[in-house]
Amino acid sequence: MNAPIAAPKAATKIPHVLAHSPKDNVAVVVVEDLKAGTKAFGVVTENDTTFEVEIKDDIPIGHKVALVDLKKGDTVIKYGQDVGKMVGDGPKGRHVHVHNHKTKRW
């Protein structure tokens, strides 16, 4: 008797961005050359849920993208933890980095 032929596995979507916790208001870009206009596929690593965010700026790998509208003075949450404050606005889909985000340590 012949063994049944296995069905091909469904293609797995590769994430553009990762958030670590459902509490996060930023996600980290995990692909090279993420371009403005991309509907980025994201994964929350803590619970494997997925989301999409439309990217508004070209964002380098390792940098953050706002998942919600962030205003000057808002707390930035990454890993479910306070990682600093906004020193400028960061609307949803925009690049969050040293130009608009600083640690609260100094």
Domain chopping of the chain, boundaries: 17-102
Question: Mean pLDDT, 10 residues at a time, over the chain (106 residues)?
Answer: 47 88 98 97 96 98 98 97 97 97 87
Whole-number pLDDT of residue 2: 52
CA distances from 98 to 16, 40, 53, 54 (A): 21, 22, 21, 21
DSSP states of 13-52 as a string?
Answer: PPPSEEESSTT-SEEEE-STTBPTT-EEEEEETTTTEEEE
pTM: 0.87
Residues β-bridged to residue 66: 26
CB 14 within 8 A of CB 3: no
**Can you name the CATH fold of 17-102?**
2.30.130
Q: How far apart are CA 61 and CA 94, in angstroms?
A: 14
Q: What is the pLDDT of residues 10-28, one digit of tens each?
A: 446 899 999 999 999 999 9
Whole-number pLDDT of residue 44: 97
Whole-number pLDDT of residue 13: 86
- Helices then strands, counting H and E runs in the chain, come out as 0, 9
Whole-number pLDDT of residue 102: 95
